[in-house]
Amino acid sequence: MKFVLKIWFLGFLTVFSCTARQYQLHDDVEKKYILQTDKNELFKFVGCRYLNFVKIMVSNFDQFDPTKTQWYLHNWQKNLELIKKYYHQIMHYEVAPMYLKWVSDEVGYGAFAKRDIAKEEFLGVYAGELRLMNQAGRASIEECTYAWEYPAQASDGTQFCIDPKYMGNEMRFVNHNDHPNATNIDVLINGIIYKCYVALQDIAQDAEITVDYGNGYWQVRGMVPQVLH
């Protein structure tokens, strides 16, 4: 009975695990956390406050210019296309209609479509605290912390991440699948690179929303992807 949690390190998810049942808020495994008040209850129980935006925790972050990084040089055209398509949703931190529900002892809670979701529909920004990578990476296994690494780093090698350990939104509950129905995109707007989830295909109502965590996730754990199906 292990609840698999996630931390992105060096571009991939690494995994920490802990007893899942201690994170199951109710014995009713069919309970759906649909209303915001219900979601807030769940977030509080797992030690996190609901936060639907990126909170910058790096004092001199405004001195970092992503447009001068290798990431931007290789992705500027794609970035423009993504801005045209998702600018409004990102700037308003829109979240597609979804609810949270217990999945299993292995993965804990997951995110599910509240209605049919169309292919390429915006699902949400991966919200949390924007921190220095070493601040998020120092957590112990027992703390069950997880974070997304920034796709670009400063010229001096400084790395950043989006860490939802204490603050985050529904995206932190999206689980892995070898054949995911969603994917992540990076979009630079006004100096911040937003990590976002979008639908890879049409997602039926009540289907679990999943992404592919990446090969690093399984390598670190010595696991095969089928474990979390």
Q: CATH number of the domain that 132 lies in?
A: 2.170.270.10
Q: Is residue 8 in a domain?
A: no
Does a structural domain hold residue 83?
Answer: yes
Q: How many distinct structural domains can be found in the chain? A: 1
Taking the C-alpha atoms of residue 43 and residue 40, their distance in angstroms, rounded to an integer, is: 5
DSSP collapsed to 3 states, 147-203? CEECCCCCCCCCCEEEECCCEECHHHHCEECCCCCEEEEEEEECCEEEEEEEECCCE
Q: What angle do CA 187, 93, 86 make, to 5 degrees?
A: 45
- Contact call for residues 197 and 124 (beta carbons, < 8 A): yes
Residue type, 126: Y
In a domain, 4, yes or no: no
Q: Is residue 154 part of a domain?
A: yes
Q: What is the DSSP letter of 114?
A: S
| Residue span of the structural domain in which 41 resides | 33-221
pTM above 0.85, yes or no: no
113 domain-assigned: yes
Q: Is residue 11 part of a domain?
A: no
The answer to the question of residue 148 being in a domain is yes
Ordered per-residue pLDDT tens for the chain, 229 residues: 333 444 343 344 433 334 444 455 555 678 999 999 999 999 999 899 999 999 999 998 999 999 999 999 999 999 999 999 999 999 999 999 999 999 998 888 999 999 999 999 999 999 999 998 776 554 433 343 467 788 888 888 888 888 888 999 999 999 989 899 999 999 999 999 999 999 999 999 999 999 987 775 555 445 565 445 4
